[in-house]
């Protein structure tokens, strides 16, 4: 049985493209009742030409430069929020009040207070919702989770995450405007903490449980930049880099590092966990590989390390690996865009009575809280309890 799911995507930038592609592809690879239909798209009036080209390229039936009109349309079932962060709050609340299913890009909000209002609205309306922390749907990261659940890491001691890029090093890079709104705190909320560490925190708590305490330091290396909208040199208020230490509720210690000033690092997100029975390591710049070090048998705890033991590089493309039976034959890799397709496949399954989709907005609010506490700790220079 097939059921059309009429989608309106708000935003026609990087994420608008990633989501449009995922809606177009999901039914080609996963058996789901819901068939997303690209019904409408939105961008602001200043981007009308770009919106027209976007609508044509992806085959949207209609477009609008007033998002409220799309939220009010009876023939739209799902509102997908891919606009800059400062708009998430108002769009999500209006969409919840209109009874729409909601997909929202990360970070959920500009602050915990905003996130709380959004969660209240979606829970009051009882609408299905997802937040697109897409990296949980990288097969190798899902396998990381499986390995932990199988007891192969055992008692965890350390969790280590980095998320480094290098695209803002130049002093002549402007803040604001289409691609660089992430540098404008009024539009983005924060810098690397909300944009990049939110991903690392989401996966860290998913893999290793809740973070209890943090102590952070942030830095803004270039303190003034020309604003693309006003043409004036203005103060930069976002964090260019952030490092924090974390104590997890399970007693393990964590380090988190993120910067947009790591020359040569483009989308370098890594995570490593070291436990009593073994260790696991993942690097997003090598996304189909998961590294695993086996020390002890999870059933007995007995040492199995011997003269042949070493780090295994698992090529995560077998039918036994998460999501991979829906893709190609073993050995053929998938890429960045597939994480969004895998995510929508899980979300549609949850609409059809399957497992509850995570992270939903309540879960993403938790990540927002950790981000806010990290920034608070950097501000006061002290440990903060979450
Ligand atoms: C920008 O730095 C960015 O596009 C993030 O906003 C995404 O969430 C991340 O996945 C890649 O980098």
Stated as kind and residue range, the H or E segment containing 104 is: strand 101-105
Q: Which of 188, 159, 170, 366 is closest to 279 using CA atoms?
A: 159
Residue 80 and residue 185 in one domain: no
Pairwise CA distance, residues 342 & 322, whole Å? 10
| Contact by Cβ (8 Å): 177, 229 | yes
Ligand 1, atom 9, lies closest to the CA of 196
Tell which one of 11, 14, 17, 261 to mutate to probe ligand 1, the residue whose CB is within 8 A of the most ligand atoms. Answer: 14
CATH classification of the domain holding 194: 3.30.360.10
Number of domains in the chain: 2
Q: Report whether residue 165 contacts ligand 1, using a CB cutoff of 6 Å.
A: yes
Pairwise CA distance, residues 327 & 339, whole Å? 12
| pLDDT interval class at 187 (50, 70, 90) | very high
pLDDT at 355 over 80: yes
Task: Report the atom number in ligand 1 closest to the C-alpha of 165.
Answer: 2
Tell which one of 267, 268, 269, 339 to mutate to probe ligand 1, the residue whose CB is within 8 A of the most ligand atoms. Answer: 267
DSSP structural state of residue 136 = G
Q: Report whether residue 267 contacts ligand 1, using a CB cutoff of 6 Å.
A: yes
Stated as kind and residue range, the H or E segment containing 131 is: strand 129-132
Pairwise CA distance, residues 228 & 184, whole Å? 10
Residue 175 and residue 320 in one domain: yes
Residue 279 and residue 320 in one domain: yes
Q: Single out the residue in 89, 114, 134 at which a domain terminates.
A: 134
Work out the average pLDDT over 150-167.
98
CA neighbours within 13 Å on the CB side: how many for 365? 17
| Contact by Cβ (8 Å): 114, 139 | no
Query: Strand 233-235 relative to strand 224-226: parallel, antiparallel, unpaired?
Result: antiparallel
Beta strands per DSSP E along 154-277: 156-164, 211-219, 224-226, 233-235, 241-248, 253-259, 268-275
In this predicted model, what pLDDT tens digit does every residue of 167-177 receive, in sequence order?
999 999 999 87
Q: Report whether residue 164 contacts ligand 1, using a CB cutoff of 6 Å.
A: no
| pLDDT interval class at 229 (50, 70, 90) | confident
Residue 238 and residue 325 in one domain: yes
Tell which one of 16, 105, 173, 196 to mutate to probe ligand 1, the residue whose CB is within 8 A of the most ligand atoms. Answer: 196
CA 264 – ligand 1 centroid, Å: 16
Say what the pLDDT of residue 318 is.
Answer: 98
Task: Report the atom number in ligand 1 closest to the C-alpha of 135.
Answer: 10
Residue 262 and residue 201 in one domain: yes
pLDDT at 92 over 80: yes
Pairwise CA distance, residues 56 & 284, whole Å? 32
CATH classification of the domain holding 40: 3.40.50.720
Work out the average pLDDT over 148-163.
98
Averaged pLDDT score across all residues of the chain? 97
| Token pair of 185 as six digits | 């705190």
Ligand 1, atom 4, lies closest to the CA of 14
Q: Report whether residue 105 contacts ligand 1, using a CB cutoff of 6 Å.
A: no
Q: Is 76 helix (H, G, I), strand (E, B) or coil?
A: coil
In this predicted model, what pLDDT tens digit does every residue of 16-51 receive, in sequence order?
999 999 999 999 999 999 999 999 999 999 999 999
Say what the pLDDT of residue 1 is.
Answer: 79
Contacts of 20 (CB under 8 A, 6+ apart): 9, 38, 41, 54, 58, 60
Residue 285 and residue 238 in one domain: yes
Task: Report the atom number in ligand 1 closest to the C-alpha of 14.
Answer: 4
CA 192 – ligand 1 centroid, Å: 9
Q: Is 8 helix (H, G, I), strand (E, B) or coil?
A: strand
Residue 87 and residue 192 in one domain: no
CA 335 – ligand 1 centroid, Å: 15
Residue 175 and residue 222 in one domain: yes
Query: Strand 289-294 relative to strand 384-385: parallel, antiparallel, unpaired?
Result: unpaired
pLDDT at 179 over 80: no
Task: Report the atom number in ligand 1 closest to the C-alpha of 195.
Answer: 6
pLDDT at 68 over 90: yes
Work out the average pLDDT over 158-183.
93
Residue 69 and residue 151 in one domain: no
Q: Report whether residue 184 contacts ligand 1, using a CB cutoff of 6 Å.
A: no
| pLDDT interval class at 58 (50, 70, 90) | very high
Q: Which of 186, 257, 197 is closest to 228 using CA atoms?
A: 186
pTM exceeding the 0.75 threshold for the entire prediction? yes
DSSP states of 313-331: EEE--STTSTTGGGSSSTT
Q: Single out the residue in 134, 166, 193 at which a domain terminates.
A: 134
Residue 182 and residue 255 in one domain: yes
In this predicted model, what pLDDT tens digit does every residue of 239-267 receive, in sequence order?
999 999 999 999 999 999 999 999 999 99
DSSP structural state of residue 173 = P
DSSP structural state of residue 338 = H
Work out the average pLDDT over 212-226.
97
CA 195 – ligand 1 centroid, Å: 6
| Contact by Cβ (8 Å): 301, 277 | yes
Pairwise CA distance, residues 272 & 243, whole Å? 16
Ligand 1, atom 5, lies closest to the CA of 195
What domain range is 117 assigned to? 3-134
CA 221 – ligand 1 centroid, Å: 20
Pairwise CA distance, residues 43 & 16, whole Å? 10
Say what the pLDDT of residue 319 is.
Answer: 98
pLDDT at 300 over 90: yes
Q: Report whether residue 195 contacts ligand 1, using a CB cutoff of 6 Å.
A: yes
Say what the pLDDT of residue 177 is.
Answer: 78
Q: Single out the residue in 93, 108, 134 at which a domain terminates.
A: 134
Residue 192 and residue 127 in one domain: no
pLDDT at 178 over 80: no
Ligand 1, atom 6, lies closest to the CA of 195
Residue 107 and residue 165 in one domain: no
């Amino acid at each position: 049985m097939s059921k059309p799911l009429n989608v309106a995507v708000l935003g026609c930038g990087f994420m608008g493209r990633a989501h449009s592609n995922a809606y177009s592809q999901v039914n080609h690879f996963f058996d789901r009742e819901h068939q997303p239909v690209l019904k409408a798209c939105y961008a602001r009036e200043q981007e009308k030409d770009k919106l027209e080209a976007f609508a044509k390229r992806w085959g949207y039936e209609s477009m609008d430069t007033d998002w409220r009109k799309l939220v009010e349309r009876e023939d739209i079932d799902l509102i997908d929020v891919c606009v800059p962060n400062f708009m998430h709050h108002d769009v999500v609340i209006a969409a919840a009040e209109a009874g729409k299913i909601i997909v929202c890009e990360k970070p959920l909000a500009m602050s915990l207070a905003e996130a709380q209002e959004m969660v209240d609205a979606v829970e009051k309306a009882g609408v299905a919702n997802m937040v697109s922390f897409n990296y949980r749907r990288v097969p190798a990261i899902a396998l990381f989770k499986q390995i932990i659940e199988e007891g192969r890491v055992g008692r965890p001691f350390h969790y280590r995450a980095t998320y480094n890029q290098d695209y803002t090093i130049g002093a002549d890079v402007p803040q604001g405007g289409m691609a660089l709104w992430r540098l404008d705190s009024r539009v983005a909320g924060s810098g690397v903490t909300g944009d990049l560490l939110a991903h690392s925190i989401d996966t860290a708590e998913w893999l290793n449980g809740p973070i209890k305490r943090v102590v952070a330091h942030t830095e803004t290396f270039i303190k003034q930049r020309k604003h693309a909208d006003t043409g004036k040199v203005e103060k930069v208020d976002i964090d260019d880099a952030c490092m924090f230490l974390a104590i997890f509720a399970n007693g393990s210690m964590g380090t988190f590092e993120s910067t947009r000033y790591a020359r040569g690092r483009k989308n370098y997100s890594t995570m490593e966990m070291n436990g009593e029975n073994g260790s696991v390591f993942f690097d997003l710049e090598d996304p189909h590989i998961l590294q695993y070090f086996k020390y002890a048998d999870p059933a007995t705890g007995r040492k199995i390390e011997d003269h042949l033991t070493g780090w295994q590089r698992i090529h995560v493309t077998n039918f036994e690996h998460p999501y991979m039976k829906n893709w190609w034959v073993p050995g053929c890799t998938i890429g960045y865009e597939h994480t969004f397709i895998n995510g929508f496949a899980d979300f549609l399954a949850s609409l059809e009575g399957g497992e509850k989709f995570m992270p939903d907005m309540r879960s993403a609010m938790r990540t927002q809280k950790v981000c806010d506490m990290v920034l608070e700790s950097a501000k006061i220079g002290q440990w903060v309890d979450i």
